[in-house]
Amino acid sequence: MGLRPVGIDTMDWPALQAAVAGCEACSLCRSRKNTVFGVGDTQADWMVIGEAPGENEDLQGEPFVGAAGQLLDNMLRAVGRSRSGSGEQGAYIANVLKCRPPANRNPQPQEVAQCEPYLARQVALVQPKVIIAMGRFAVQSLLQTSEPIGRLRGQVHRYQGVPVIVTYHPAYLLRTPGDKGKAWADLCLAMETVAAE
Ligand code: SF4
């Protein structure tokens, strides 16, 4: 493995994307097919953060594709946003980890520690008005907690000073459609939070 590049916290978008594309700072670089940097409007006021690329994301190099990605797109559409929209109609979408863990295993703490500066820089560059953290792993990584999602929902947390709303991962909602109403309530809280900011 190689070292993570220095100066991530001052990189612009092209430099950051190139740094991720060439990153060999953890063992996930050996098994990835593509790095998955992020997608959407870099000036959107919503930022969606998930866990890590799965098989389809690894193949396509884009976060939240496949059935879970379609559900996310539908959720965003319900609040007047899309990954291809901009500003108040847009959303920037990224994961905590930029490379797929083999067989979709849980990310390891050292992998998160190595990758986190890339996400931190993405948040600093986007400067969103709200972050939607999706799924247990993304939530617990961002908020540095081991509390379950059920205890963290319904409150406004902070990451780098940006309001964070906690909700379920779309893949979970596909398996547990009875919780879609809770996810809708979380999106409503995100809208209220942006309006209040
Ligand atoms: S997961 Fe992150 S730290 Fe690990 S190789 Fe990929 S980009 Fe680098």
Closest CA to 91 of 165, 196, 173: 165
Q: Is the CB of 112 under 6 A from ligand 1?
A: no
Across all residues in the chain, what is the average pLDDT? 96
Taking the C-alpha atoms of residue 161 and residue 128, their distance in angstroms, rounded to an integer, is 10
* CA dihedral of 78, 197, 118, 10, whole degrees rounded to 10: 140
Q: Is the CB of 99 under 6 A from ligand 1?
A: yes
Nearest atom, ligand 1, residue 52 CA: 1
**All structural domains of the chain:** 8-196 (3.40.470.10)
DSSP state of 33: S
What's the CA-to-centroid distance between 67 and ligand 1, angstroms?
A: 25
pLDDT on residue 158: 98
Query: pLDDT tens, 82-134?
Result: 999 998 999 999 999 999 999 989 999 999 999 999 999 999 999 999 999 99
Percent of the chain with pLDDT over 70: 99
Taking the C-alpha atoms of residue 22 and residue 3, their distance in angstroms, rounded to an integer, is 11
- Cβ–Cβ < 8 Å for 94, 131: no
Query: pLDDT tens, 43-71?
Result: 999 999 999 999 999 999 999 999 999 99
pLDDT on residue 1: 66
- Cβ–Cβ < 8 Å for 99, 1: no
